[in-house]
Structure 1
Amino acid sequence: MGKVEKRVTGIGGFFFKAENSKELVTWYGKHLGLKTDDYGSTFWWKNNEGEACSTQWSPFAADTAYFAPSEKQFMQNFRVENLENLLKKLADEGVTIVGEMETYDYGKFGWILDPEGNKIELWEPIDKVFQ
């Protein structure tokens, strides 16, 4: 049996709209003890290979266009392997791709829509940039 190619390897983040995102970050830090910064809170964990990985929790401004074309109040981010190849496979499978893949020093990003119009961010991370 051949090697099964991984798609999603974990949760990369959970993003949601908030009326006052900065105030909410402060509240979560004070009352729930989250270690916060301007973007929310980063949770560190190790994958099955023992490598350090991160998951981001971030409130966004209520009027953000970042979740578009979805009109939902949240957006999931999944960690993936080989984003470029995965986006090609998803397109071949009839999945709606949103925009073009973007590359940064901390990884590659792509976006898709699920059947209910929820925008999903796919992230091929480079975690070592954050360490």
Structure 2
Amino acid sequence: MKNVIFIVLLIATSFCFGFAFKTVLTSQTKTNKNMKKVTGIGGVFFKCKDPKKTTEWYQKHLGLETNPYGASFDWYQEADSATKASTQWTPFAENTKYFDPSTKDFMINYRVENLVALVEELKKEGVTIVDEIETYDYGKFVHIIDLEGNKVELWEPINNN
């Protein structure tokens, strides 16, 4: 029960503070004050014993509209915008290697703008970049490690996400 409460609080907190991160992180950029770093939360991922049953539980008890990847929360980038966006919620198997090299049971995906330029800045700042930027039909991805050893996924969505 404590894990369920923790996960629900984590998801709620992530959504609430996602937009605040954009303002704070953008204003703290030293090398290029116009470069946006984080623009929102792209997803919250966590490990569990049985992802299928966990997804079904959230669907039944909390009303999440689930899909094979978890659940997507659609929203608009600005109050008067027609640009649709989404935040992903996904349970992973407890033995997944996707979060490696982090030993944590969760990973947060941050939406960013201009991933290539951001990665260059992060390299200059000594941030550990785990892999190379990969491009898919829904955007570009790369993983970094934060100061606590958490693996963080950075995602630059394509224009229609």
TM-score range, shorter chain: over 0.9
What is the CA deviation profile of residues 72-92 of structure 1, one whole-angstrom value per residue up to 9, with x for unaligned ones?
000000000010110010010
**1:39 — aligned with what?**
69
Deviation at 1:5, TM superposition (A): 1.4
**1:26 — aligned with what?**
56
1:67 correspondence with 2:99: yes
1:16 correspondence with 2:49: no
Distance verdict in 2 for CA 1:127–1:43, change over 3 Å? farther
Deviation at 1:38, TM superposition (A): 1.1
TM-score w.r.t. length of structure 1: 0.93
**1:55 — aligned with what?**
87
SS in 2 for 1:128: coil
Q: Which has the higher strand share?
A: 1
Structure 1 unpaired stretches of 5+: none
- Which consecutive aligned stretches of 4+ in structure 1 deviate over 3 angstroms post-superposition? none
Identity %: 58
SS in 1 for 2:129: strand
Give the number of aligned pairs.
128
More deviation in 78-87 or 2-11? 2-11
What is the CA deviation profile of residues 51-80 of structure 1, one whole-angstrom value per residue up to 9, with x for unaligned ones?
100000000010100000000000000000
Structure 2 unpaired stretches of 5+: 1-31
Root-mean-square deviation (CA, aligned residues, Å) is: 1.5
